[in-house]
Amino acid sequence: MRILVLPGDGSGPEITAAALEGLALVDRKLALGLAFETHEIGLAALKAGGTTLPDAVLDVARAADAIILGPVSHAEYPGRGEGGINVSAELRITLDLYANIRPSRSRAGLAHYGRTPMDLVIVRENTEGFYADRNMHRGLGEFMPTADLALSVRKISAEGSRRIAAAAFDLARGRRRKLTAVHKVNVLKISEGLFLREVRKLSEAYPDVVYEEQLVDSMAALLVRDAERFDVVVTTNMFGDILSDEAAELSGSLGLAGSINAGDAHCMAQAQHGSAPDIAGQDRANPVSLVLSCAMLLAWLGRRRGVERLRRGAAAVEQAVDALLSDPATRTVDVGGKLGTTAFTAALCAEIGRRL
């Protein structure tokens, strides 16, 4: 299997290298047949070739079995006309990675900040919504008729709503069989009404999954007060982006939250956090988010291909991370430990090795 690796910006190369060490070990132990191919993107690619995302990399991404994307510093990129392409957004659109799947789970021995424990997954629509670079065939979804007036277009389609709902219902069926649709239909009556229409229609095909709805503002409060009541949450792009960051931080840290971007033909592992350029090159970055994202990627490949070894590898990585996080002596500094990136990676590989 051909895995495209894009290390990214800031601390991205460091945490990507850590995640690859773990994956390479799993590959050797289980004979998965993974072949890693690394290409530069982001600021390094911009300096070398005038664009943050060369066309050749897009071609490789289309042909790859899966992609690993390190964090990118897209806020520092120049305009698109000067080569500053948001790599993450471009890959999501080009490869039609319509489902952003972000689990959040509190762990024994590690502080969490909500009133109740949490074990949920937020399934976020990834290609529409208010995000300007994802909702127009040509041009941007934001524009300024005058210097003092800015307008933004929000795109919600029946097909986009239907397929993200199907991804969420399928996931809920394999978990605790409960799905919560989050919306703001009391204000955005037309676009949110279309989203809910499609989710409600699809719920009839999943009678074994308990279905409920929550307003986005009440959901934000309930994640703090009563998160244990939720299993799988499905929502539109911007709401999902915000709520998944909130859930990750409440469950322990944004640095511990895995994330994949999945479509019907491709999947991309991506850390949920940013590139942290302020600690780049200092051996201080916590690689857990990308490590767990890579485990999710293995699990996705395992389900898609029906290969149990891939699922076993994913489970071993997740269990190894849980074991390290349960002991302050094997945590990184940002979550109360003393280990740097290199030492944590060594401990992770040792723990994975014990489980395989």
Residue where the block lists tokens 């080569």? 83
Its sign, for the CA torsion 111, 113, 115, 119, is negative
What CA–CA distance (Å, rounded) separates 42 from 7? 9
DSSP 8-class letter at 332: B
Q: Is 277 helix (H, G, I), strand (E, B) or coil?
A: helix
Tell me the one-letter amino acid at 212.
E
How do strand 2-6 and strand 35-38 relate by DSSP bridges?
A: parallel
Tell me the two tokens of residue 292. 């767990």
Range 80-85, long-range pairs (CB < 8 A, 24+ positions): 83/46, 83/50, 83/51, 83/52, 84/46, 84/52, 85/51, 85/52, 85/53
What CA–CA distance (Å, rounded) separates 280 from 201? 47
What CA–CA distance (Å, rounded) separates 199 from 38? 39
How many helices (H) and strands (E) would you count in the chain?
11, 12
**What angle is formed at CA 70 by the lines to CA 135 and CA 11, rounded to 5 degrees?**
125
Q: Which helix (H) or strand (E) holds 232?
A: strand 232-235
Supply the residues annotated as catalytic.
131, 184, 217, 241, 245
**What angle is formed at CA 121 by the lines to CA 266 and CA 261, rounded to 5 degrees?**
20
